[in-house]
């Protein structure tokens, strides 16, 4: 099944395009219709003074009927569309997963499996580094 690509960023609640180790991931989640009136897409509320969208808003608002939904509940109902190149086997593929972040090596991330090798591929929030397991340091030759 081919995923539908967004035509503009106005269609998306979330969009990212980034390198993951030796692979590449592009992920987006489309805005959904209002569950109450079904007339328009839900979005973050706008500031009355400037007319710009409130970036850190705690809810989503329907512009037609003013119905509000809590941010966590709304985002958990979305579907993430992903186009990727696997960092493990270099397989190129597309998939869809629920838009729910889970813990992956100490960091909240969207996690999906490669269709070919079944390797886990995380999509972390911006600037979050995954905790790598430290390898024991080799003894220095000077100590012997």
Give tens-digit pLDDT for 64-86.
888 899 988 888 889 999 999 99
| Partners of residue 33 on adjacent β-strands | 41
Mean predicted lDDT score pLDDT of the chain: 84
DSSP-based helix, strand, coil % in the chain, nearest 5: 10, 40, 50
Return the higher-pLDDT residue of 135 and 105: 105
Return the higher-pLDDT residue of 134 and 55: 55
Confidence (pLDDT) at 79: 92
Phi, psi of 75 (to 5 degrees): -65, -30
CA of residue 55 relative to chain centroid, distance? 16
Question: What would the mean pLDDT of 17-46 be, rounded to a whole number?
Answer: 89
Q: Which pLDDT band holds residue 128 (cuts at 50, 70, 90)?
A: low
Question: Per the confidence metrics, is the pTM higher than 0.85?
Answer: no
CB contact at 8 A, 40 and 64:
yes
Residue 27 has pLDDT above 50, yes or no: yes
50: left (phi over 0), alpha (psi -120 to 50) or beta: alpha
């Amino acid at each position: 099944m081919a995923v539908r690509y967004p035509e503009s960023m106005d269609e998306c609640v979330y969009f990212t395009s980034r390198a993951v180790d030796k692979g590449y991931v592009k992920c987006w989640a489309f805005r959904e219709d209002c569950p109450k009136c079904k007339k328009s897409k839900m979005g973050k509320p706008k500031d009355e003074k400037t007319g710009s969208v409130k970036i850190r808003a705690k809810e989503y608002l329907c512009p037609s009927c003013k119905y509000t939904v809590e941010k966590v509940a709304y985002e958990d109902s979305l579907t993430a569309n992903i186009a990727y190149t696997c960092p493990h086997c270099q397989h190129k593929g597309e998939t869809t997963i629920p838009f729910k972040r889970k813990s992956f090596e100490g960091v909240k991330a969207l996690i999906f499996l490669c269709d070919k090798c079944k390797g886990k591929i995380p999509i972390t929030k911006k600037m979050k580094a995954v905790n790598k397991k430290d390898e024991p340091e080799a003894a220095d030759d000077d100590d012997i």
